[in-house]
Structure 1
């Protein structure tokens, strides 16, 4: 089986996407756990349309995927993406953002659903 080559253009696109602090933080948070738009709204204190725009860019480039659970749409890292190993390497160099999820949970702001 031939391994698909990850191109310099793909790497540059990912670096450009993650050059935005909000998107980098979102992806690092998604490394910890899946999140809903409303959780990101609370964490970043940004409008829902602004958060959705960031998520759309990440989704359209295959870094994350969405899954509907009841009335909520949850986002998580797309571990099946050919760019995931590169993304994983980049994220290994970024400080944990888990404290943001812990703080949100302490405020009762985490969404849990069956």
Structure 2
């Protein structure tokens, strides 16, 4: 079982809008760093820093494919995170709110 400190640290990560939206998008499929750059309109290093924090805390896992890194959700052992994400909108709604289109292509 997670300690209160671990739970608090996990929840702090969700206090950042970008990381919360990233995790919400990851509920439905894996995403590449390059896709997140297009969605959030921030630099690749900034996206990578957000994802590193999520990975370090065990909320996402990465899969390197060539020069790209794909991320997927990893919260099966964290029901309190899953509970928050269950109340978040789906990807299509999130992308609409961000004035972005659904991206379904591979990074090049």
Smaller-chain TM-score range? 0.7 to 0.9
Residue-by-residue CA offset, 1:65-88 (whole Å, 9 max, x unaligned): 1001233210001145x32x2211
Residue-by-residue CA offset, 1:76-106 (whole Å, 9 max, x unaligned): 01145x32x221111012222334298143x
Match of 1:73 in 2: 69
Structure 2: gaps of 5 or more residues:
none
User: What is the CA distance between 1:112 and its match in structure 2?
Assistant: 6.6
- Aligned positions of 1:55-74 closer than 5 A: 55-74=51-70
- Aligned positions of 1:1-114 closer than 5 A: 5-79=1-75, 82-83=77-78, 85-99=79-93, 100=95, 103-105=101-103, 110-111=105-106
Superposition TM-score, scaled by structure 2 size = 0.83
Distance 1:17 1:79 in 2: 13
Change (3 A) 1:11 1:52: same
Structure 1: gaps of 5 or more residues:
none
Q: Which has the larger radius of gyration?
A: 1
Superposition TM-score, scaled by structure 1 size = 0.79
Distance 1:54 1:36 in 2: 13
Indicate if the aligned counterparts of 1:41 and 1:47 stay in contact, CA closer than 8 A.
Answer: yes
Distance 2:29 2:72 in 1: 7
Indicate if the aligned counterparts of 1:64 and 1:75 stay in contact, CA closer than 8 A.
Answer: yes
